[in-house]
Amino acid sequence: MSRTIRPRRRLLAALAVLSGLGLVAASPATADTLYHEQYRPQFHFTPAQNWLNDPNGLIYYKGQYHLFFQHNPSGNSWGNISWGHAVSTDLVHWKQLPVAIPQDDQEMIFSGGVVLDRNNTTGFGTRKNPPLVAVYTSAQKASGKQQQALAYSTDGGTTWTKYHDNPVLDIGSNNFRDPKVFWYAPTQRWLMAVSLADQHKIAFYSSADLKHWTHQSDFGPAGATGGVWECPDLFPLQVDGDPKKTKWVLAVNLNPGGIAGGSGAQYFVGDFDGKKFTSDDTGSYTPPSGTVTQDFESGSFGDWTATGDAFGSAPATGAVDWQSQVTGFEGEAFANSFHGGDASTGTLTSPEFTVTGDYLNFKIGGGDHPYDPDAVLGDVPAPTGETLADFEGSTYTSPIGDWTATGEAFGTGPAQGTLPDQGQVSGYLGNGLVNSYLNGDATTGTLTSPTFTIDKKYLDFLIGGGYHPASSDAPTAVELIVDGQVVRSATGSNGEALSWASWDLSDLQGKQAQIKVVDANTGGWGHINLDQVVLSDTQAKIPSVQTGVNLLVDGEVVDSATGAGSEALDWASFNTMAHKGKKARIQIVDANSGGWGHILADQFTVADKPALTSTQRAHWLDYGADFYAANTWTDAPGGRRVMIAWMNNWNYGQAIPTSPWRSADSFPRQLSLRTVDGKVRLIQQPVRELTGLRGARTQLPTTQVENTATPLAVDGGSLELQADLTPGSADRAGLDVRTGAGQRTRIGYDTATGEVYIDRSNSGATDFDPTFSGVQRAPLALDGGRLSLRVLVDASSVEVYAQNSRGEQVTLTDQIFPDPSSTGVDAFAEGGTATLDHMQAWQLKSIWR
């Protein structure tokens, strides 16, 4: 990573602004490192310091692009949410300004938009000096209500005044947020798109003066509905560049439920008449035809075998007692394990059958509790042995003596279950446990056992809470200390349910040891839960908490699906090609007695093609893991529509290993609509101003790669790459970027699945959250043609624009955290030969120099 120091005058000006905010001290050390820290993006916007999330109030005004953003002015995790502010003349180089709209004792300033009130409809300015007006969500601290409010600026956005008669729109909801407002010329009215988050709806309101609003219509549920809907944006675009043909695009962000897991951004194309948005995609879906093997329509489970009491004595014909409305099942009946509520458990298993088809399609709903191959289905006895602590007393006393607490997180004694404002804690034994959520995640401390002798093979314990390993900067972990060194450690999995963990102590027999429980984390999931610490000769077994459908072949689970935390059933599919001719069973499992501890299933069908989930059928702005809260600039020159997004994911957003800032924005993208195979699709490209950052260009000759990775004559931490890929006979082929030090981020094409993918499992630092490492995929059929790739590589991100010969496009955006020395680029092919040609590479200059 470049550590070039920027020109002194520009650096001192930036430090002066930040010093005025109380953010940084203008010290020589700061001057040397500001904007050049490890992982600091060099051509993506980041705040100089502290937390950033959603982009807000995007507007072009008097030669400047204004970027407001969700910001914690005093910390590196979410909190104290205010509107930060930055400006740019070219969408590339940014100047951070003082906080625009600060939070106060009554409200936090959630997402929203900014408009230029040209006709001074609000009266906040004059016709000669019309005001900029921010329409934002006022998140009330006392009640949790979310209301729409106004602030205005008459000095070009530098200083802001809150409207004295806020809120201007209040429906009494805690899930009513993120207004995007624009002027609709045909009706001479202001229009607002705002999220009814938990209803999966976007509400539309109109106003003459931005102060008084009238409800017009709602859109949704539609598309992907796996999480709350947030940050809507509605705008028109020409189709195929034809000014006589215009469609409207509605962008809707959701969390969780994104295509890559966690946060995601989808879009709808349709028509808008000033009151109502109508999507071109009606949402109707006909799955592939096939042979139905079980539809539960007979009135009984037939030859399927039920255990436990969760599934009742027969299929359900709708919601059962205390259950919310169930939708999406086929016919009249389906399997429903909510009999007796979430606390009941059981299984429903098919008779053995021979696998004959390519796919097994079915509908599934209910709780999101995936299959764990290390967990055991059924009752799991607690391990026996020497109990070092069960935390049942009022103080931290135990059979081996008193445990010692420091800090505030652990209090003076064990917790009696769930603490105030905490999600439901489950899985502990008895009444007490160690729980460092005392007074919330912000508290820290340690809890250390007396010394004991290791005289058994295993140390077993129940653990839950945050996933922050002992190796991280701010761990939430249980550590085993021997001879002053940490020799074993474990952390939670970002869940309040405690589960058994076990350490093999075979190599430590006879040693003196201590257990240290550490909470050094003040961010999200910054706490740890512990119970029932036992020295034992038996290894603790993990009990299954699955709610799902399993395919068992020869008695082993070979595929599994779970619900999405919803009472709506959706299609799912198992690929059974590799199991043809083998004996199999279907097992529907409810092993969970906690929240959403039930499963719904229906319409098991053998078919030649897979059924697609509503998530797979949705139209995604980006298929990567790190593109959320996407929004566009208002009033951009030439009518261009430019989008930017928060380049992070709520799954792990507060755990990424960056300091003194956390989170970046995606590189701005220009949007257009193109007709592809008779359907109108959104096309995205980096804004043209990117070319101003280009430095040295490298043009590479055509490269053939066979079953290997071949280094290319390109090197750098900030790059733009363009190439055409012909997969040829290869199973998978593409580019590896940020290679070196045993690391790589793989950008490839999988010919078997017809997908572009990013594999960041070996990209560098990945251990800060269990959901970070993995592969993100996007469907894009090549039909024997070439894949055109455009890739932006930065210190901690890759953005991939991929297009086939028909003009169909997908994009993928992922964060990565490689070693600064990992700057190589390779071409690779697996299982055959591929060709890379027309490849060009540019070094990209830092915007912070």
Residue 686's DSSP bridge partners are 669
Which residue reads 């900029």 in tokens? 132
Whole-angstrom distance, CA of residue 226 vs CA of residue 366: 11
The low-confidence residues of the chain, meaning pLDDT below 70, are: 1-32
- Could you tell me if 369 and 592 are in contact, meaning their C-beta atoms sit under 8 angstroms apart? yes
Q: Nearest 5°: CA angle at 800, between 798 and 801?
A: 155
**Closest to 557 (Cα-Cα) out of 381, 376, 380, 379:** 376
Predicted local distance difference test score (pLDDT) of residue 226: 86
Q: CA 568, CA 328: separation in Å to the nearest integer?
A: 5
Distance CA 435, CA 416 (A): 9
Chain-centre distance of CA 191, in angstroms? 29
Q: According to the model, what pLDDT value does residue 30 have?
A: 52
Among residues 504, 434, 513, 439, which one has the least CA distance to residue 476?
Answer: 434
pLDDT of residue 493: 86
Active-site annotation, residues: 54
pLDDT value, residue 769: 87
pLDDT for the residue 775: 97
Q: What local confidence, expressed as pLDDT, does residue 427 receive?
A: 87
Give the Å distances, CA to CA, from 264 to 163, 248, 253, 255.
33, 20, 6, 6
Residue 162's CB: how many other CB atoms inside 10 A? 18
Nearest to 113 by CA among 180, 203, 208: 180
Compute the residue count for the chain: 849
Q: What is the pLDDT of residue 8?
A: 27
Q: What's this model's pTM, rounded to 2 decimal places?
A: 0.88
- The number of helices, as runs of H, and strands, as runs of E, in the chain is 3, 56
d(CA 515, CA 228): 40
Q: Report the C-alpha dihedral over residues 813, 814, 820, 824, rounded to 10 degrees.
A: -60
Strand 264-272 to strand 277-279: parallel, antiparallel, or no bridges (unpaired)?
A: antiparallel
DSSP conformation letters of 398-438: -TT---EEEESTT-SS-B-SPPTTPPPPBS--SS-BEETTT
Q: Which has the closest alpha carbon to 686: 270, 63, 90, 252?
A: 90
792: its two tokens = 């932006």
How does DSSP assign 626-692, residue by residue?
S-EEEEE-BS-GGG--EEEEE---TTTTTTSS--SEE--BPPPEEEEEEEETTEEEEEEEE-GGGGG
